[in-house]
Amino acid sequence: MDQSSSVALRVAHSLSFLCDARANPSDLKHHESLLLSFSNEDINGYLNALCEVFFEKQGTYGGNEKESIESTRREESIRLAAALCMKTLVATKWKPRGGGVLRRTTSFPSSQATSQSPLATQQPPNLLTSETKNKFRHMIITTLRNQLPFPLTLPLQNSIQVLVAKIGRFDSIQENPELLPALLNSLPTSTFNASCFNKLLKELATQRLLLHKKNFAAISTASFPSLANLFVSTSATLGSQLNQTDAFYTHYNILAKILHKLVTHTLPSLVSIENTSKLLSVVLHTCQTTISTIMSKSPSPPQPNTPLYKILNRLTLISVDAQSNHPLPFAPYLTVHLNFFYEVLTTLSRQKPEGEPFPLQKVAINTCNFLCNVKSERGYDPTSSGAASSRGSAITSKGDASAEAAECNLKVAAASCHRFFTTEVCTILANIAICALMPLTRNDLEEWQNDPEAYMVTVEQATVSDDAHAAGQQLFLTLQESKIGRPLLSKFLLDFLLDYDSQLKAASLEAASISAPSVQFVGDLKVLQWDAIYSAAGIAASSLENQIDFIDWFCKALAPALTTIMQSPAASASDQNTVLPVLRHRIVWLLGCFVNALSDTLRPQIYNALVSVLNHDSVKSDAMVKLTCVQTLNGLFEDWDFDIPSFHSLSAPTIRGLYALLDRVEELESSTLILQTCSVLVARMGMTLGAEAANAVVLPLLQIWELAGDKNVLRKYVLTILTNVSAAVSAEEVTLLYPVVQPMLDLSTGGGNAHVYLTDDALRLWLALMRVAPEYNEGFHLLFPKISNIVVNMDWEHLKVCMLILESYIFVGGQTFWSQYAGELSKMYLSLVGNVKAKAATYIMLSVDALMRKFPLEGSQMLLEGGVYKSILNCCKDVISDAKEREPDIILVQWISVIGRGLIANRNAVAHGLFVTNASTYVCSPKEFLGLMLEKFDSTGYGWGKTGQIRRRVWACALASLLPGADGPVGGVAWEGTWDNLMLKNLDQVINVFVDVLTEDAAAAAAGSEGEQFYDSEEETLIGGAEEYEKKLRTEIANDPVVTVNLKAFVKSRIDGCAIAMGQDRWREAIESCEPVVVQQLMKLFVE
């Protein structure tokens, strides 16, 4: 036995263990390690061995070298495992990728291994040699030519298809010239080869690299002629006899899929060559002929999921997607297709029985989408900016084309659209949309009847690609928004909507249908027709609101119709009543569409009507009506013109109605909508909410929270509602929320992955409550470590709100808070200094300023001993040394201000701790620090309002504190003379600072500070408790030692003390080194 066969036997042996679900986990790991070693030692030999295992005759290999595989099923499992390994090798080692690093791939299903799996290797690739790749290509070609010594089961066929797709993705036609002929030669007879080719095209269609697109185009150009001829001949066979075998239908459908991919992805390449362009015309004509033949010859329209239905869907999609992806290249075929699809749609609409689903729904949907795409394509409008460009190319929303060809195609497309979309055609299409596509069908009503809530979700999630109602709505909207359609279809709708008598008759029919024998039609088809008309009106609301007197329409038609239905026995709470509230639902929906048209006098009536619907005691079928009512109310609450005074008395009933509905619904989407609406209502009502409504909101929330379980999206809204409530009640009433809120905050900020989604909303609620808290609360006191944990141990996504919460803790907690959590604060600040950006530093400074205002002496000592000041000096050193990575001035100024406050409160301790201790290894010398302060003084915030003014006072007071005086040398005896000499040498600049700040102080005192901003943030977006926060902040600032100090007297006393301490001669020498004008200005300020 040669070496390659020996490796193949060992590979097969290991794969057999991996396929055995009963194998011992230790054996699995052992054999995975063996396969990994084969791969690492010789990747080419490993692939050759896998080829032998997969492609050799059955019975050659067994569980070990002496035994052969006796079970066919086991043989197939081993081959499938080998195919999976080969797919991984081809995908990762056929060509270089990712800088030599392999991405992790899926491991074998039975594997127990981790990163050591041979199916998920992460080692740098040893690329396959040309010889190995050629051998593998040959084996694939042999398979496609049906020359394997064993039959291909369906799982094995799927494996081969995947391998063909992977190779075709990496190989160009030149690199693998035999692949395409092998696929094409057997296409007429081999469904397997057709599937392989389809899989290959699907793989290429998902790629975005230019190389893959070029490969796709080359394959398309080379294969299209033979495929087109085969498709035409096969279509002729189908047209002559619709009743074919399942194998024929499957084969034909695959051919249609192949053509769909070629045409929709490479149309520009096909039309650029004369021969393929002619064949493309033939193919598109064949599609139309085949569609017409199936529709005309079928005794009845093919039903969904039948072979002919699938074929019709695929054939229509070829033209629809080709036009959508390549509007301009498709222009020459527009006229034919517009006429064809118009004929298809009108024919199907005539065949539609009243109340039944649209026949051939997918064909109708595709037809509507084609007409919509053409009518809304800006590239077909010569006046549009998205049309042709004179710079050598034509730009459309879908791609480019040469300027000359594009100009020609644009003219053709514009002419085709102009000829087709006449007033008559637009009217007919609009009528089909309203009268045939949009009305509810028997199936819809049965779904509604069986589960109203689930049906509501289905309607909300419907798309134009899979729902006939949505496609009809889109068709009507597209026509209505066009130049020709806007005046035409607005009048078309107004003729319906101004017929008030017909609307009231339809409402009476629904009201009278208590137990109609034909429940699905709710008494009369006219009800369903008016439901569709109202749908069209809602869609076109933006155009109609200026053309219809909505007050008149509401008062004379909509309101009476709604009242008639609501007061009828059909709307009562009877479990036996099976009448569906079709018009009731649609009128409620319609009101939400015309929010912008509501007048101030009409709003209270609509509010009352909707709240009445929400609280109406009705059958379960009304779940859809009530959920729609919630949607409409949500839109009204969010409307800029929401009338708060008019809704005040309705707040409590609305909230109770929302919670009552919440108890009934089961779908997550429904619960989310209800809680979101409740949250918006509370936020809009604000302080006008009232005690009754506030109690109605809060009381059920704890139960809702507990029942929500792991549905964090619901808990998120619970937190948001509580945040809004905290802003809507008095500070005293807020304390009543604490027992409800604190357990929620504890859970939501615990740091676990299960609740991380709630953290942001929980912190916002926390902030709102702390800002309006009338006094410090023990529960919140015990919760504070959660804030520290988020800042220190998690990322800084929540840094802003955490710093604002900390600021409020300092405001309210005072000494109680400081006594227990000073160490936590030190850790937090130490983790932040030098690591945050400017905006984050702004919020950090809010809390630091609050701390230093409240506890100037203790705070400076904590920052000194905790190493925070030293970290600040590191930032200073980077600026002094002009390091590449250095803090911007705005951050540096803020950090230096922290040291400045420390020098004011505790001059000797801070100066000694920073500049004396270990003076030989200090980070920043006194000279450097003083020089930096004087250099950056102009960046301290002049013109920033109150915040900038206070910061400049901090710097002025800090510099005054550094002047030598009766309190001895700065830093203590060990540092005597250093600061004295520095301050005297720079006295001119220091006096300049004093003059600037004292002058600004005088100007500010004259102007007053009312309305000025007391914080640095340019976007205070966390508005919870903002008003209370502003009050507390003003109080804190008013008591700030830097603010309360008489700066003029303080500076004068420090200068007088310095003159005495330095002696007359030294002081005179220092003063004479200053600009006389500046000294005179300072003296003048002292006497004013």
Q: What is the pLDDT of residue 38?
A: 82
Angle between helices 868-880 and 889-905 (to 10 degrees): 130
Q: How far apart (Å, rounded) are the C-alpha atoms in residues 929 and 951?
A: 17
**Confidence band (pLDDT; 50, 70, 90) for 61?**
very low
Contact status, residue 581 vs residue 571, Cβ threshold 8 Å: yes
How would residue 724 be classed by pLDDT, with cut points 50, 70 and 90? Answer: very high
Distances 923 to 284, 312, 885, 890, 940 between C-alpha atoms, Å: 79, 79, 17, 21, 23
Alpha carbons 28 and 21: distance in angstroms, whole number: 10
Residue type, 979: W
| Percent of the chain residues past pLDDT 90, beyond the cut | 46
Q: Which of 834 and 58 is assigned the larger pLDDT? A: 834
- Reference 358, options 492, 518, 241, 475; nearest CA is 475
* Mean pLDDT across the chain: 84
For 329-353, how does the pLDDT look when each residue is reduced to its tens digit (9 = 90+)? 999 999 999 999 999 999 999 988 8
Looking at residue 591, its pLDDT comes to 95
Whether residue 1010 has pLDDT greater than 60:
no
> What pLDDT is attached to residue 66?
43
Q: Which residue has the higher pLDDT, 627 or 616?
A: 627
Between CA 983 and CA 361 the distance in angstroms is 89
Q: Which of 296, 312, 213 is nearest to 256 (CA)?
A: 312
**CA angle at residue 448 from 447 to 453, to 5 degrees?**
110
pLDDT at 235: 96
Provide the 3-class DSSP secondary structure of residue 329: coil
Res 377 pLDDT > 80: yes
User: Which range is least confidently modeled, 269-283, 396-410, 607-621?
Assistant: 396-410
Tally of CA atoms within 13 A in the half-sphere of 910 that contains its CB: 26
Query: Whole-angstrom Cα distance, residue 128 to residue 225?
Result: 34
pLDDT at 24 over 70: yes
Residue 1014: pLDDT over 60: no
Q: Round to whole Å and give the CA distance between 206 and 202.
A: 7
pLDDT by residue (tens digit) across 778-799? 999 999 999 999 988 877 888 9
pLDDT class of 123 with cuts at 50, 70, 90: very low
Question: What are the residues facing 401 on neighbouring strands?
Answer: 394
Q: Pairing state of beta strands 393-395 and 400-402?
A: antiparallel
Is residue 1016 very low, low, confident or very high in pLDDT (cuts 50, 70, 90)?
Answer: very low
pLDDT for residue 126: 65
Burial 94-116, CB ≥16 within 10 A → b, else e: beeeeeeebeebebbeebbbeee
Lowest mean pLDDT among 178-187, 192-201, 613-622, 927-936: 613-622
Closest CA to 522 of 620, 588, 444: 444
**Among 586-595, 824-833, 999-1008, the least confident range:** 999-1008
Distant-in-sequence, close-in-space partners of 435: CB < 8 Å, separation ≥ 6: 349, 529, 532
pLDDT(142) > 90:
no
Give the pLDDT confidence of 465-518 residue by residue, as tens digits.
999 999 999 999 999 999 898 999 999 999 999 999 999 999 998 888 743 444
For 507-536, what is the mean pLDDT?
Answer: 74
Structure tokens at 814: 């005072």
Mean pLDDT of 1011-1038: 67
Each domain of the chain, given as residue ranges in start order, spans 1-98+127-177, 823-1087
- Where b means 16+ CB within 10 Å and e means fewer, 1016-1038 reads beeeeebebbeebbeebbeebbe
Write down the pLDDT at residue 78: 85
**What confidence tier does 285 reach under pLDDT thresholds 50, 70, 90?**
very high
**pLDDT at position 1019, please?**
45
Residue type, 380: Y
| DSSP symbol at 571 | G
Find the range with the poorest average confidence among 93-102, 119-128, 856-865. Answer: 119-128
- pLDDT tens for residues 863-879? 988 888 888 888 777 77
Cα atoms found within 13 Å of the Cα of residue 370, Cβ hemisphere only: 31
CA geometry: angle at 989 spanning 987 and 991, to 5°?
65
Per the CB < 8 A criterion, the answer to whether 1047 and 993 are in contact is no
Is the model's pLDDT at 569 over the cut of 80?
A: no
Q: Token digits for 803? A: 């710093």
Q: Is residue 11 a contact partner of residue 49, using CB atoms and an 8 Å limit? A: yes
pLDDT at 428 over 60: yes
